[in-house]
Structure 1
Amino acid sequence: MDPILLGKGITDNIPVHLLPRFGNRHGLIAGATGTGKTVTLMTLAENFSRIGVPVFMADAKGDVAGLAMPGQINEKLAARAAQIGVDGYSAAGNPTIFWDLYGQQGHPVRTTVSEMGPTLLARILELNDTQAGVLDIVFKLADDRGLLLLDLDDLRALLNLVAEERKTVSTEYGLVSAPSIGAIQRALLRLQADGGEQFFGEPALALADLMRVDHQGRGMISILAADQLILKPRLYSTFLLWLLSELFETLPEVGDLEKPKLVFFFDEAHLLFNDAPAALQQRIEQVVRLIRSKGVGIYFCSQLPDDVPDNVLGQLGNRVQHALRAFTPRDQKAVRAAAETFVPNPKLDVRATLTAMGTGIALVSTLQDKGVPAPVQETMIAPPRCRMGAITEAERAQVRATSPVGAQYDTAINRESAEEILAARAQQLAAQANAPEARNGEGGLGQSIREFMFGNGRRQGVVESVAKQTTRNVGAQIGRNIGGTIGESVMGKTGKKFGAQIGNQIVRGILGGIFGRR
């Protein structure tokens, strides 16, 4: 497969390439503001797309969206492309899908609470260790009771359940305190105020939709609108880390391929590592180290190389370093560190060059044959074919309207999960608790007597049968009594028979009146 042309070496006057088979060995794109990092990102993204590699990248400033539209080729760009040796340079857009956690500038990106997991969710909510432990218990309880955690309403319902059964839960799973539950609930309110509630729900993002190719065999470029999201750094970084983790856990092992299956650009990379606990740092290092064998390349973008921890930085084989500004002691230290990470070039003073390069010039070192880093080259970066700038709302709407995934994600789904199940159980228990009160309040003993005497649809036949038997028994008893009395005093046996008939008529008259018969 043809290599990706990044630019042309200024010192040695040779093309500088990135070999697709080493595209999954990760990379770093660094440099001060205004030195051309974004243009380099766009050049890399569209070249990966042209060879059939899907790309995912965040648009922190709104200008990366220009990848969707053809650029405007002027004389300066044409001359630069000719000088570098770009074949067939012309304006061209790229197949693009826009995404947005808030669902405003692209298709909504959602995941479920269960898929996010307690560790990453605790980081979003900024929980301490004790509160994070309670969140672990909530997830475990949901699993044990078969309750789906899809959105934040489900999580709130589980928290309420844990609060109600706190003593039992503490005995079975570990101590759960009311203050910890309250702290988690307050954190959920803050997340909701930040708009994070829209991120949790269904339909959840399918990773296969990030790995599409169009009908021409070009990789789709998925662009996440992050100009608002970047203002919530924990939500931004945790979402991207979740996405990496999902790719790591879902994709099969493929080893080294002719080209990557997906390339992932992580802009503002320092946000991923700021204030990350040790366990989370280890998780990031593990994903970066092992996801290469899944066919995924990760490219971190930041201002300074030391924004990325050394353990991660050592895994990044492809380097594009734009100019650094040595205004502060930290900047000067970063310049020295960056210079020392490159393979030396006898013809180039790396440290001096780092602070003297202009816009669109970068120090580049990529992996060549057998994975050996090439000596660093001061490189004129090739211009992209797309628009180098923002797009209009009408253009964004046009791209979104023709998207192959719009019908799948634009409408939210709310299926039965923990919140609905627990609410139904609560209603059932309330109905059972109120049922005896309703019966007693309506008539108490009098209602019971009326049901016995008059029946109720289900018992009418039984009551009538009992009544008939009662008529016979009572009538016979009255007859015997009356008959005996009359017989003794007046007529003997004849009086007894006559008395029995009178008694039966009296009782039949009473009960017949009750049942509406005469």
Structure 2
Amino acid sequence: MVDAGKLFIGGSRKPDDSFKEAEYLDLKFGNRHGLITGATGTGKTVTLQVLAEEFSAAGVPVFCSDIKGDLSGIAAMGEPKDFLLKRAEQIQYADYDFTKFPVMFWDLYGEKGHRVRATIAEMGPLLLARLMDASDAQEGVLNIAFKIADQGGLPLLDLKDLQALLNYMGEHASEISTQFGFVSKASVGSLQRGLLTLEQQGAIHFFGEPALQISDIMRIAPDGRGMISVLAADKLMMNPRLYATFLLWMLSELFEELPEVGDPEKPKLVFFFDEAHLLFSEAPKVLLERVEQVVRLIRSKGVGVYFVTQNPLDVPETVLAQLGNRVQHALRAYTPREQKAVKTAADTFRANPDFKTDEAITQLGTGEALVSTLEGKGAPSMVERTLIRPPSARIGPLSEPERSQIMNMSPVAGVYDRDLDRESAFEILTARAKKAADAEAAKRQPEEAPAEDNSAAGRWSLPGFGDAQDEPATKPAAKGRSGYQRETVIEAAMKSAARSVASSVANQIGRALVRGILGSLKR
């Protein structure tokens, strides 16, 4: 029954209740995105597992989140249970067998998988603003903070780096407002409180180094199957905004890093976005526009995005229009909104004369779905009432010893499990403040003047703040607007040479700051 270049989904039910035809997803249309919807308990997770198995077997890497822990069983051998064998017999799945798949486990908290991190710079101001539920004024302050970090060569890696920079901006709000635009101390204070809230919610585990390399979730196993990356999200779902923002960051990183490939014979990666309603819930218009843009354009990078949610109304129409492969499990129609959802779902399918789509949606059994995929030249196939094939791997969670064994054998074992804390904005600004204090003390006690500081922290200055203005050597030292002692011509020459080096570093930091399409696109 397995057809080369196609992924077997299940058997379609005919009017005589037989299952004589198989339903496939053409592999070359796997990057055209998809939608899996249905009420709780109708079989969405099993459908996700089946598609992940099929893509992996075809040599396509997969990334998916495990909301309840059930999906972890994909790493273990399936068991020949009666209901699975009966399902295979019903749909005439003669090639059905049991196997396990190559899996890497990930976890933002490092408890049930390898640690996943991103730097503040990679996240970008827009996603950070979304994460902190910042106002427009506060988002503007964040944009200025990133500009200052770029211009001053301040690496923003973790929360304490951004906290230190915001503290600096609060102390120099008037000077910054003159050069970059109005910065109020109230907005800075609100952002600092937002960062404190993020820290208490566990975001401190996410921001830092080593940052996740996108290539590590696009691995191919030695046997040619695609590696399945499973994100442990049961604890992460306690902070749904962090969960949605993290997955959106991953999409933006994929878009930014992967080259254009057009329409390949098979996807480079398939990305399953479970609980997709969290992404769109209360999202500002600018963010929805950029999500739509990423979904529309990432297809040409060879990435297929599959949204998994309960209700098709959870996905905006502009995004829904990009999803060509549809799997619709049963919906209930007890309330007006549920009735509208049924009608919306029915209207998105190409009608089948054998049944009424809106009626079928409410009559589907567990493990049964309406399926329509792209075929031919990319047109949607006629909707079919389909019994989803049984998974080949285990249905249900792994035990802790099984999970630990798989993690120890992972190709990235030990790579992400230790924190790195190199010199960044926090250390540079702390050292700068100490240097200023020492300089002030030296004016009172010249004989105890501190030695010249040639570190990055000692060299750092932001042009236009009155911190590095040249004065003739014959004039006595004077204070600039910020209160720091001005330097001599010789000191200025030395710092000018140092700044030429720092400028190169700043350019590299700047390139890092525009990583992530959602944080770098201009409005």
Same fold (TM over 0.5): yes
Map 1:184-199 → 2, pairs under 5 A: 184-199=191-206
Amino acid at match of 2:39: A
- Partner in structure 2 of residue 471 of structure 1: none
Give the 3-state SS of the residue equivalent to 1:420 in structure 2: helix
Matched, 1:338 2:345: yes
Question: How far 1:436 sits from its partner (Å)?
Answer: 4.9
Matched, 1:410 2:417: yes
Among 280, 283, 300, the residue aligned to 1:276: 283
Matched, 1:20 2:22: no
- Partner in structure 2 of residue 2 of structure 1: 5
CA distance in 2, matches of 1:339, 1:356: 13
Matched, 1:372 2:379: yes
Give the 3-state SS of the residue equivalent to 1:407 in structure 2: coil
Can you list the C-alpha shifts for 1:271-318, whole angstroms capped at 9, x where unaligned? 000111110000000011111110000000011111100111011100
Matched, 1:38 2:41: no
- Partner in structure 1 of residue 359 of structure 2: 352
Amino acid at match of 2:43: G
CA distance in 1, matches of 2:199, 2:93: 48
CA distance in 1, matches of 2:391, 2:36: 16
CA distance in 1, matches of 2:305, 2:93: 25
- Partner in structure 1 of residue 101 of structure 2: 94
Amino acid at match of 2:407: R
Among 413, 421, 426, the residue aligned to 1:419: 426
Amino acid at match of 2:404: A
Can you list the C-alpha shifts for 1:178-218, whole angstroms capped at 9, x where unaligned? 11111000000100000001111110000000100110011
Among 236, 250, 253, the residue aligned to 2:243: 236
CA distance in 2, matches of 1:5, 1:158: 53
Matched, 1:297 2:304: yes
Q: Structure 1 vs Structure 2: percent identity of aligned residues? A: 57
- Partner in structure 2 of residue 428 of structure 1: 435
Can you list the C-alpha shifts for 1:400-436, whole angstroms capped at 9, x where unaligned? 1111112211111111111111112222222232235
Map 1:20-419 → 2, pairs under 5 A: 20-419=27-426
Can you list the C-alpha shifts for 1:119-176, whole angstroms capped at 9, x where unaligned? 0001101111111111111111111111110111110110111111111001001111
Bigger radius of gyration, 1 or 2? 1
Give the 3-state SS of the residue equivalent to 1:409 in structure 2: coil
How many equivalent residue pairs? 441
Checking the alignment, whether the CA contact within 8 Å between 2:77 and 2:392 is kept in structure 1 is: yes
CA distance in 2, matches of 1:86, 1:144: 61
CA distance in 2, matches of 1:238, 1:74: 39
Question: How far 1:438 sits from its partner (Å)?
Answer: 4.8
Amino acid at match of 2:11: K
CA distance in 2, matches of 1:351, 1:188: 47
Question: How far 1:352 sits from its partner (Å)?
Answer: 1.1
Give the 3-state SS of the residue equivalent to 2:162 in structure 1: helix
Give the 3-state SS of the residue equivalent to 1:28 in structure 2: strand
Map 1:427-446 → 2, pairs under 5 A: 427-438=434-445
Instruction: Structure 1: state its 5+ residue gaps.
Output: 442-518
CA distance in 2, matches of 1:328, 1:391: 37
Give the 3-state SS of the residue equivalent to 1:45 in structure 2: helix
CA distance in 1, matches of 2:93, 2:213: 36
Larger % of helix: which? 1
TM-score of the superposed pair, with normalisation by structure 2:
0.83
CA distance in 2, matches of 1:440, 1:412: 41
CA distance in 1, matches of 2:130, 2:312: 24
CA distance in 1, matches of 2:87, 2:332: 25
Question: How far 1:439 sits from its partner (Å)?
Answer: 6.3
CA distance in 1, matches of 2:96, 2:386: 19
Give the 3-state SS of the residue equivalent to 1:179 in structure 2: helix
Amino acid at match of 1:7: G
Question: How far 1:354 sits from its partner (Å)?
Answer: 0.7
Amino acid at match of 1:60: I
CA distance in 2, matches of 1:141, 1:231: 33
Can you list the C-alpha shifts for 1:56-89, whole angstroms capped at 9, x where unaligned? 0011111111111112112321232133233432
CA distance in 2, matches of 1:254, 1:85: 37
Give the 3-state SS of the residue equivalent to 1:406 in structure 2: coil
Give the 3-state SS of the residue equivalent to 2:371 in structure 1: strand
Of 68-77 and 149-158, more deviation after overlay is shown by 68-77
Amino acid at match of 1:11: K
Of 384-393 and 74-83, more deviation after overlay is shown by 74-83
CA distance in 1, matches of 2:363, 2:376: 30
Give the 3-state SS of the residue equivalent to 2:354 in structure 1: coil
CA distance in 1, matches of 2:322, 2:437: 59
Give the 3-state SS of the residue equivalent to 2:410 in structure 1: coil
Give the 3-state SS of the residue equivalent to 1:235 in structure 2: helix
CA distance in 1, matches of 2:82, 2:164: 62
Amino acid at match of 1:300: F
- Partner in structure 1 of residue 495 of structure 2: none
- Partner in structure 1 of residue 481 of structure 2: none
Checking the alignment, whether the CA contact within 8 Å between 2:38 and 2:310 is kept in structure 1 is: yes
CA RMSD of aligned residues (A): 1.3
Question: How far 1:39 sits from its partner (Å)?
Answer: 0.4
